[in-house]
């Protein structure tokens, strides 16, 4: 455990960060809401869709400033051809120079490595962005109603515990070896995971970021990333909480077979999973349409 943790720490600062160093130092002074989207290297169209939103220049009262969008990136696997790796590296370097918002670490971007993104991000926040008051963590296909998120966070003290999302209580480890969520008893022998929030999207405070950073240093790495966050919370003596406005499993009207795409349903929500890029743009425009008229009683499940 200690040897693997030491190896992990040694690799944490081996990424190329020259293009973002200056931007990150400014973030220590100005950024109060850090935005973390977990993305694959090749997902340029999804990143472009997210970056087209005006989150980077959203300025609201009480000195809240959501400045920039920090994207976690990981290296392509060693199995990819050298030519493909060079092409991807060049594209990512170009994107980093243009937006100054790319973080990159040297490990394969696989499902079982998702936990490493959380561990590296907690360490980066502690070292490079310690003044961020809150963190929004979400997948790259999560729609974020930024005005609602900031409005919610305005009422939350950053020096108190906050870890809010879609609660997952009583989740049991999957023992079927064919499942990508398979966890053998040798890795986790308990009957159920600690309570955690679905990894699709959640919000946490500066206080909780620091507590998780300390707890993660003493919590063995675990391949199910959202369950791992629950383990770190438990070690820190903290508990997550739920919020009706965070919907990692989509939005459904009663009796409907398909998720709803009615903007009136989304106007009071914070985070919704999952959207393809063009849907994000359509929903963003619909919610900011001055002619949008909604009746009362949009009940969702």
Whether the CB-CB separation of 20 and 96 falls below 8 Å is answered with yes
SS3 state of residue 219: coil
Show the tokens assigned to 43.
């997902």
d(CA 294, CA 243): 22
Show the tokens assigned to 19.
């293009």
Instruction: Output the pLDDT for position 170.
Output: 96
Whether the CB-CB separation of 272 and 247 falls below 8 Å is answered with yes
Residue closest to 47 by CA, chosen among 134, 146, 142, 113 = 142
Q: Cα dihedral sign for 196, 28, 101, 125? A: negative
Q: Which residues, at least 6 apart from 1, have a Cβ–Cβ distance to it below 8 Å?
A: 220
Per-residue tens of pLDDT for the chain, all 301 residues: 444 444 343 333 223 333 333 333 333 333 466 666 565 555 555 666 556 554 433 333 233 333 334 444 444 455 557 788 788 888 888 888 888 888 888 888 888 899 999 999 999 999 988 899 999 998 888 999 999 999 999 999 999 999 999 999 999 999 999 999 999 999 999 999 999 999 889 999 999 999 999 999 999 999 999 999 999 999 999 999 999 999 998 887 766 666 778 899 999 999 998 898 889 999 999 999 999 999 765 555 5
CA distances from 197 to 83, 162, 186, 203 (A): 39, 12, 24, 10
Residue closest to 211 by CA, chosen among 189, 196, 229 = 229
Looking at the chain, how many residues does it have? 301
* CATH class belonging to 2-287: alpha beta
* pTM for the whole structure: 0.75
Show the tokens assigned to 80.
């990819």
């Amino acid at each position: 455990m200690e040897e693997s943790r030491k190896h992990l720490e040694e690799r944490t600062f081996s990424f190329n960060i020259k293009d973002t160093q200056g931007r990150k130092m400014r973030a220590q002074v100005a950024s109060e809401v850090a935005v973390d989207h977990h993305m694959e290297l090749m997902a340029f169209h999804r990143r472009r869709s997210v970056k087209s939103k005006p989150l980077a220049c959203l300025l609201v009262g009480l000195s809240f400033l959501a400045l920039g969008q920090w994207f976690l990136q990981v290296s392509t696997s060693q199995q990819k051809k050298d030519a493909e790796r060079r092409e991807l590296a060049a594209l990512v370097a170009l994107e980093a120079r243009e937006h100054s918002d790319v973080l990159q670490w040297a490990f394969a971007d696989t499902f079982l490595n998702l936990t490493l993104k959380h561990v590296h991000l907690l360490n980066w926040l502690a070292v490079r962005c310690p003044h961020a008051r809150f963190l929004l963590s979400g997948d790259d296909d999560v729609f974020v109603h930024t005005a609602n998120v900031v409005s919610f966070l305005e009422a939350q003290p950053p020096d108190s515990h906050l870890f809010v999302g879609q609660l997952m209580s009583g989740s049991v480890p999957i023992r079927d070896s064919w499942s990508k969520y398979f966890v053998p008893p040798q890795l986790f022998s308990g009957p159920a995971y600690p309570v955690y929030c679905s990894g699709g999207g959640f919000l946490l405070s500066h206080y909780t970021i620091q507590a998780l950073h300390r707890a993660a240093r003493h919590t063995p790495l675990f391949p199910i990333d959202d369950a791992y966050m629950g383990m770190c919370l438990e070690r820190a003596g903290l508990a997550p909480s739920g919020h009706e406005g965070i919907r990692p499993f989509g939005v459904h009207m009663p009796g409907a077979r398909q998720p709803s795409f009615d903007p009136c349903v989304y106007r009071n929500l914070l985070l919704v999973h999952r959207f393809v890029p063009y849907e994000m743009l359509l929903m963003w425009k619909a919610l900011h349409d001055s002619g949008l008229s909604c009746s009362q009683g949009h009940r969702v499940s």
